[in-house]
Structure 1
Amino acid sequence: MRDAGLLRRTPWFYALVAAAIAIGYAACGIALVLLGDSWLQLLVAGVLGILLTQTAFLAHEAAHRQILGRGPANDRLAQVLGAIAGMSYSWWDSKHSRHHANPNRVGRDPDIDVDTISFLEEDAAASTGLRRLVTGRQGWLFFPLLTLEGVNLHFLGLRHLLSREPVKDRWIELASLATRFAIFPTAVFLILPLGLALAFTGVQLAVFGLYMGASFAPNHKGMPVVRRDSKLDFFSKQVLTSRNVSGGWWATVLMGGLNYQVEHHLFPSMPRPGLAKARKIVMAHCRATGVPYTEATLLRSYGIVIAYLNEVGLAARDPFECPFLNEYRRL
């Protein structure tokens, strides 16, 4: 990296972002009380889902040591912010660290492990029952299914904390999440009638899950998959498997800096304000070395993701006549 200043911490920037989010939470709380028994509360629920996602973005950046000067302080901040978003930091950190080390590598990247969605044709071909029915149409179902991702993230974090495997700060995280899940729903169900409270909770969870999933999906889905035994240098591995989203400052605000996925993977501790400048340097180096650099608009990236998932899903319909097996190339 020619400009070491790009790695410099920018606490003022993150203080402004945190202040804006805090003001948003306060406004939601005031609106929740003042609106009372009104279906306009569903708009408040949607805004709350957006604010929780923005909080998760900050937790992600703290976990990458982007905000504060010391590692332990960043860890504590990520833990607090993760609890506000309703996520276990220890679960996310373990999963995300493995992803960064081996993005899109078969058997090494947990982000392409089979879940409701299959990201590899062999997983799609092995699906059975209801999952096979979903997998065959998973490209078109992907975004509707993301409305359930908020519930899934809460569940996976709690399952990790309640498991028998060793977990750092298990009781601190459990206490933090218990407090979070006690305060948020209790306030909603005390203020609103039962039916409206249930609808409010459903909208908040749906927006949170959809926003989170739609922010992370363009990053690697539809990019080359790396074979288990493939030998790639660090630079090529990170660049070839990552996709940037064009759009400049608005995309950065919308996606919490995840639009600069190539640069984030190359320099994971680089604060958000430095990523745009790093992009120019990385693009120039890619041109000089002949390494393909991928960038697409947000809508184009979503189209690529849907097409990719639909092609993988063909293996669930007929694993013996799947054109994807012949067309898709792995590194």
Structure 2
Amino acid sequence: IETDDPRWLKAEEATQKTPTQLIAGFRETRDIHEEMPRAKFTLEKTHEHIEKVLNDINNGEAFAVEESRAVVRECMTSIISNANAMLWLTKIKNEDKYTSEHCMRVGVLSIAFGRFLGLPDQDLQLLGLAGMLHDVGKTKTPPDILNKPRNLSSDEYEIMKQHAVFGREILGKQEGLEQLVIDTAHYHHERVDSSGYPEQLDASLLHQFIRMVSIVDVYDAITSDRCYQRGKSAFEALKILFGETNKHFDKKLVEAFIRMIGIYPPGTLVEMSNGEVGIVVSSNPDARLKPKVELVTDANKKLRSPYVIDLSATPKDSTGTPFAIKNGLPNHTFGIDIKDYLFRPQT
């Protein structure tokens, strides 16, 4: 359900009034461009591991839990150095590998979310592992339902919902996994108004980590291309999440997530008020609506030699009008693929 409620844009302001222990923010120790190569290598390694995990499960074999913990720790190292690098990279998506990439992104975004909230490292590892393994139950979902290019029938939807139960069964057989990781796979579709599945649990029974993974799971699903729909922009996804606060999602956690991602997160394609199109290259923690943007087209949407502007410095266009972001756009709009600009040096 989408919302036009203007209050959602003030979610960032609302989080500033919460206790400081809830909103710790990011403390970057490395420049984003310095961190990007390591983040890319780590993300590729993580994706390879998750594909192996899903293949092992498909073959009825146990997977290497300690290897899973190791890749989570490597993701943590990169995120602690500069979270924006991995947040940028999670914007690059492959529709044909949705389940494995989705598990990877939910794991990474969950770690970043926990880091933003100031959770200790041992909690980040547990939260990242829970996010990474939350959808393993889909290995037992029939492919014709999982990959159906149209809306599911009511019977098909009931079958799809079983992946939460399958996830609990699969992870429950693994040695050395914490119960909270198993519970996250089982309950990540439960909702705070008890409208979720598989058990319609009361909100008081949902651990904070499950609530966090639920938010990240939906955000990534909304912003991803699927076989039946194109992904929405981050801006639209955050608006949808805010519209479901206190119904499907924990309000304080959604507000915190919006503050973490930013209205226009790194890697977001944006249209400027004068018609030019650009890509957000880094966020401004003091003014989320004024990030650095690499302009890649002119006002007529024709590709041009890219250059970076810092909106917090109030730059002006050729007419003397201050630049401003008009709206966020899904990737591939106007034929622009953000991947083509990922490692371009900034000017």
TM-score (norm 1): 0.30
User: Which structure carries more relative contact order (alpha carbon 8 Å, separation 6+)?
Assistant: 1
Which has more strand, going by share of residues? 2
